Structure 1
């Protein structure tokens, strides 16, 4: 897995995230060859600070219950500010209510707003297995590029069974609670194409260390 660093999205998305926090994360991402996932408000600064780092940002974060029109405009603004990829949150309430058409239309609005890759966070800790299957199918039918497990703010994170389930539909970004190379390796082996982690630098260093043993 020589491409491991490029499959890790080093992440800082907390409510107290400062510009300096983002610069520190970008320095680490640049050092290890990682991608970065940052708040939308810092995209312009980040794209100028480390133009070599691929940038993802979030749409409708963290609850996903913005209107489709607002999410679509967020996507347009994010791409104009320098985002290379977009991680949008599904409307969990609509999904749980069985309003599948509204869920799919919400995703389609963001997909249609940009040519950049769209990952859809289905917030697996809040869903039953039936809902995970249904959400994954809707995301695939809406034309998104990736499924993503969780925001990290919904009471849980990525699990091996969820990654296995979701990877039946689309490439998966495993995010939430992935804090070590052992965790990341388990997710990759379960079928994850990407890892999202606030400790991406630690994971990358542990990966390098075990290769050198």
Structure 2
């Protein structure tokens, strides 16, 4: 799979409009990327670009929704036509030692639909030890992928975090990745996927550099 097909071109700002979402989806279609959009626009995109892999977010951006709310969000996203879920884990539960609650919530969302679930850990808020424990709990909950950040907390993806997380599950690097150079560093660290609002710039810079299609663990996205 080539680089564009492993980029989630993303628009998740609080003032995002339907027209802006469709513009991002047009870019995703033109450049062969996936799209990640707010939950309220999933049905719009599913009808507009049914062939585009469509992700949406659950419990976004702080992860502090009630578990039942997250499950309901997941079920609605499935009904509306999403293909993948990016679930914000509850960092506070993890930090307070409520590991069973943290894991159980992830597991309930995973079980709610057939869609792959990427668990957003918000690694910039965690120590390495906490990051490892969060990854272990996500694995135990049958998550499909680990994602570094929402982009709405301090900090974003780092090479060190991607290297650590890739020991556990495939990784989606997200947060502050605005260029091919930055994306390539994440791919080289082991990222399987990139989440970025700068997907077009990344793909165009990649193409201009004459980069070949690539697999995970080298230059793949």
Q: Does 1:39 align with 2:38?
A: yes
1:3 deviation in Å? 1.2
Give the 3-state SS of the residue equivalent to 1:106 in structure 2: helix
Which residue pairs with 2:201 in the alignment? 202
The equivalent of 2:137 in structure 1 is 138
Q: Highest relative contact order (Cα 8 Å, sep 6+), 1 or 2?
A: 2
CA displacement at 1:133 relative to structure 2: 0.4
Residue matched to 2:10: 11
TM-score, scaled to structure 1: 0.98
**RMSD over aligned Cα, in angstroms?**
1.1
Query: Separation in 1 of the partners of 2:107 and 2:159?
Result: 28
Paired residues, what number? 212
Q: Does 1:150 align with 2:149?
A: yes
Match of 1:182 in 2: 181
**By how many angstroms is 1:53 displaced?**
1.0
Q: Secondary structure at the match of 1:56?
A: strand
> C-alpha separation between the residues in 2 aligned to 1:207 and 1:80?
35
Deviation at 1:52, TM superposition (A): 1.8
TM-score (norm 2): 0.94
Q: Which residue of 1 aligns with 2:53?
A: 54
Aligned to 1:103: 102
Displacement of 1:49: 1.1
Structure 2 CA distance, aligned partners of 1:206 and 1:31?
15
Please state if 1:126 is matched with 2:129: no
5+ long unaligned stretches in structure 2: 212-221
The equivalent residue for 2:70 is 71
Consecutive unaligned residues of structure 1, counting only runs of 5 or more, are: none
Runs of 4+ in 1 over 2 A off after TM superposition: none
Q: CA deviation at 1:66?
A: 1.0
